[in-house]
Amino acid sequence: ASYFSIDAVFETEEKEMFDAKLLTIEEKKIATGKDFDSTGELASKKVVLLDEDAARDLQQKLTGQAFSVTDVDRKPYTRKPKAPFRTSTLQQDALRSLRFSSSRTMSAAQRLYENGFITYMRTDSTTLSESALTAARNQVAGLYGKEYLPDAPRTYGTAKGAQEAHEAIRPAGDTFQMPTDVAKQVNSDEAKLYELIWKRTIASQMANARGERLAVRIAGESTDGRATVFGASGLTITFPGFMRAYVEGSDNPEADLDDKEKHLPAMAEEDDLTAVKIDAVGHDTKPPARYNEASLIERLEELGIGRPSTYASIISTIQDRGYVWKRGAALIPSFTAFATVGLLEEHFSDLVDYEFTARMEADLDDIAAGETESRPWLRKFYLGNGSPGLARMVVERLGEIDARQVNSFPIGEDDNGQLVEARAGRYGPFLSRGDDTAPIPDDIAPDELTLEVALELLSRPSGDKILGTDPESGLTVIAKNGRFGPYVQLGDADPADKKNKPKTASLFKTMEVDSLSLDQALQLLTLPRVVGVHPETGEEIHALNGRYGPYLKMGSDSRSLESEEELFTVTIPKAVEVFAQPKRRRGQSAKGPLKELGEDPDTKKPIVLKEGRFGPYVTDGETNASLRKGDTIENVTPERAQELLAERRAKLANT
């Protein structure tokens, strides 16, 4: 939904300027983004929704009018520190502050723990031991002064169902090593994570931040007599307290603005103000934010699903199985996820109920604590006891499942009344309309697949593009998309002639069907080409483009070429030189990088993006990591490359 606000810049008599927003008109509140529900509808009819015409009209009728301060409200501000980290909050803040995935966080934490820098990293406790409290308070006093210490050590509440088998995640030992000292002994990820843990631990034992909030109300009247009230707010921090050491990361920068320091000029009631500028500003409501790893773990914790030891594996599993993919930090559900959830909710709803899962987690906690025996619990779950068990449910309901129905998602109807639907297929999602089908591009999220987008995808050619006619043969040159990638074909295939197939040639990796010219296609169709005869062996040398890249062939011998373009330019002298070199094993051809992505913080080696046998990947020369679904060559950033490599190293370390 769209809405408008009226923003103003006011100036005091001392020529100091500040920003304000229109709050009310004729004592009715002006609608803001907070007044809309998750569907974009106004949640209350008691607010005034300004459209563009009304906003522009009001802007004109307020310009040049007189304004004065009607109220100045000062209130004390206090902000308390957060509890020390437990597993879930560490993963959440590492994503928000360091952009670490949960698996990357846990891998770095594991190494810090194993090397004696932090306490055990799988815990649901926020409790610090007596020695830790003493160490933290001593460090606070030494670094910041005794005024930053509360009168007594701080203690924090325990989450419902917490096992508290370990204390909170903190620096190890009776005295805490400084982050600068630890950084000299560990890699980049570990150093950053240790510093985050150290800051949170120290801050948890520091005094509150204190300050003053100031709210000012400014009254004015439009030229047609309507009473308006503008508002401005400020925050002054008088004592930073724990904020000297640590401020938590946030998923919601707009909400976080409430705690940002913002100074307003000194004002008193009845002060006259000048409106230097009044603007009508347009806004669009935004859908609820997608989950990222941090917010998903937070939600799992609220629902009682998962435990400190399982959060990272849950996040990894849903990605590895193709249920979600990443766009930046956001987790995007796939059509496979919708099909799976739909099947389970329709046929096994009891097993995917949040409360059932939370109860099961609690039962497993009791088993782990020795309060419940495991075998009777498993017998009841699998065979049932007064209610159907898993075995009976599967047998009874398996025959009811309609695979096509489960994997189909109606989108709408075209102009002829034909149903258009998305389907989760074995080889990826696709669109279906009668006998017409079209693949759904990997970068389209299910909620973005509107009827308009679907019809546009279905209207595209099946991948065939007629480029023109070959002047020598008179046959049509066609560009196609095939199972192994795009290619060009000379003439149409005759279904009745199985022996004589049309000549084809794969496109180079730098080429695209949409921009391919006839001249380029004809040049591709000259491959394989005869380069010439080797002067010593008398054998013909051929230039070919194969499954593993461009290469030269002479009899049973072959050598890789550096680039596909060389297929057309390589000469006999160059070919002789290439064959004189030792033969590389497959995969050793020195292909140039597609993209350079800076230095890896762990190995201090350059990261490059390359094209490999199984697709693009990033490497620092020691570790290779394939791009995930949602990653593209164009959008891979240095930070994303570092994350992929760190996750790959963590996976290799745990195998």
Computed from CA positions of residues 323, 326, 330, 334, in that sequence, does the dihedral angle turn out positive or negative? negative
CB 230 within 8 A of CB 23: yes
269 CB burial (10 A radius; 0-12, 13-18, 19+)? exposed
Q: Residues 133-139: contacts with CB within 8 Å, 24+ apart?
A: 133/205, 134/174, 135/171, 135/173, 135/174, 135/175, 135/176, 136/170, 136/176, 136/201, 136/202, 136/204, 136/205, 137/205, 138/175, 139/175, 139/176, 139/202
**Closest to 15 in 3D by CA, of 266, 269, 299, 380:** 266
Task: Name the amino acid, one letter, at 367.
Answer: I
Cβ contacts of residue 341 below 8 Å, gap of 6+?
Answer: 352
Question: Among the options 120, 144, 354, 487, which is catalytic?
Answer: 120
Q: Which amino acid is at 256?
A: D
Neighbours of 231 (CB within 10 A): 14
CB atoms within 10 A of CB 138: 15
3-state class (DSSP) for residue 568: helix
Provide the sign of the torsion angle of the four alpha carbons 510, 511, 517, 522, taken in this order. Answer: positive
Q: Which residues are CB-contacts of 517 (< 8 A; sequence separation ≥ 6)? A: 467
Phi-psi region of 626 (alpha: psi -120 to 50; beta: other; left: phi over 0): beta
The verdict on whether omega for the bond into residue 528 sits within 30 degrees of 0, i.e. cis, is yes
Element at 408 (helix H, strand E):
strand 408-413
Angle at 178 between CA 173 and CA 180, to 5 degrees: 140
Please give the Cα distance from 389 to 506 (Å, whole number): 55
Retrieve residue 97's tokens: 């502050």
3-state secondary structure of 619: strand
* Dihedral Cα 249, 254, 260, 265, nearest 10 deg: 170
> Within 13 A of 246's CA, how many CA atoms are on the CB side?
24
User: DSSP code of 161?
Assistant: T
490 membership: H or E segment, kind and range: strand 485-490
The HSE-up count of residue 166 (CA atoms within 13 Å, CB side) is: 17
Which H/E stretch holds residue 332? strand 330-333
Clarify whether 548 is annotated catalytic: no
User: What amino acid positions are annotated as catalytic residues?
Assistant: 120
